[in-house]
Amino acid sequence: MPVDTTVLQRWYAAEARDLPWRRDGVTGWQILMSEVMLQQTPVARVAPIWEEWVRRWPVPSAMAAAGRADILRAWGKLGYPRRALRLHECAGVLAADHGDRVPEDVAVLLSLPGVGAYTARAVACFAYGQRVPVVDTNVRRVVARAVHGRAEPGNPSTTRDLADVEALLPRTRARAATFSAALMELGATVCTARTPDCGRCPLSNCAWVDAGRPAHDGPAKRVQKFAGTDRQVRGKLMAVLRESDTPVERQALDLVWLSDPGQRDRALHSLLVDGLVEQTDDGRFALAGEGNG
């Protein structure tokens, strides 16, 4: 028994954070919204926006009826705004083809825009109680330590990671769902990336601790640069457009990135290609879908 399910379950019941999307009565659509928002964005920043979205767009058809610009403004500074666009597109598919509900089948979920290996199974598990492995960065780290005795997980491989966790998954649906939630919670609050708090860990048989907490041996993982990248420029351009209720002149956008006009133009072009920004007939720029909805 590599991971003591009973101990983990008890720990989760006692220690889990009271996150709004974990409360009773939360719908599949609301779970899906939370999962998309939580892709690479911390819980603390997601929570207030999620509460607002639940009120504003309680069902997929409500969101589908909104314009992209409204969605992008409501997304605010959560980052990676293409996620908001995909969720909007997803809402349209759900409203048109799935009876305004989030499907339960993993394969169907995987076909939806912005829904990948993690999100599909997170919805299947947390919204519908299915027994499927749910593998995010927290789970990968906890399993790497507790089971494999390594400080850090290897490079992500969906097939291998899913099989890895499938092998640990409890038999019954209910226990499997709690197991996955607990593994994620443990990785998020105790078995963290930087400074794991082993003194607070409920697991008594962690392979990494047993091995004396050896340091990561392999090559250090490359951390993404941000300063000076197109990503930073895109962020600055989007910030200007989010905050303006009228289309913006080209010169106003030029001001956000003076050091490299070529890079600025490339960033703006990519935003147009991505469908985040549109150009008006008179040559100004605005969030895509301004005036729609």
Partner DNA sequence: CAACCGTGGAC
Partner DNA sequence: TGTCCAAGGTT
Positions in the binding site for DNA (CB under 7 A): 19, 21-22, 34-35, 38-43, 45, 77-83, 86, 113-120, 122, 136-138, 141, 155, 157, 184-185, 187-188, 192-194, 220-224, 226-227, 229-232, 234-236, 238-239, 270, 276
Which of residues 83 and 131 has its CB atom nearest to DNA in the complex? 83
Burial code of 168-183, b = ≥16 C-beta within 10 A, e = fewer? bbbeeeebbbbbbbbb
In DSSP terms, 278 is beta-bridged to: 286
**Nearer to DNA (CB atom), residue 91 or residue 115:** 115
Query: Is 52 tagged catalytic?
Result: no
Cβ distance to DNA smaller for residue 155 or 251: 155
Spell out the residues 6+ positions from residue 65 whose beta carbon is closer than 8 angstroms to its own: 293
Least CB distance to DNA at residue 251 (A): 20
Give the nearest distance from C-beta 189 to DNA in angstroms: 8
| Count of other CB atoms within 10 angstroms of residue 270 | 16
Q: Is residue 193 helix, strand or coil?
A: coil
Residue (117 or 204) nearer to DNA, CB: 117
Catalytic, out of 15, 35, 51, 290: 35
CB-wise, 17 or 281, nearer to DNA?
17
Q: At its nearest, how many Å lie between DNA and the CB of residue 282?
A: 25
* Min dist. Cβ of residue 67 to DNA (A): 19
Query: Could you identify the residue written with the tokens 């443990």?
Result: 186
**Angle formed by the axes of helices 230-243 and 261-274, nearest 10°:** 70
Q: How far apart are the first and last CA of the chain?
A: 54
CB of 239 to DNA, least distance (A): 5
As a whole number of angstroms, the distance between CA 70 and CA 72 comes to: 5
> Are the CB atoms for 94 and 101 separated by under 8 Å?
yes
- Which residues carry out catalysis? 35
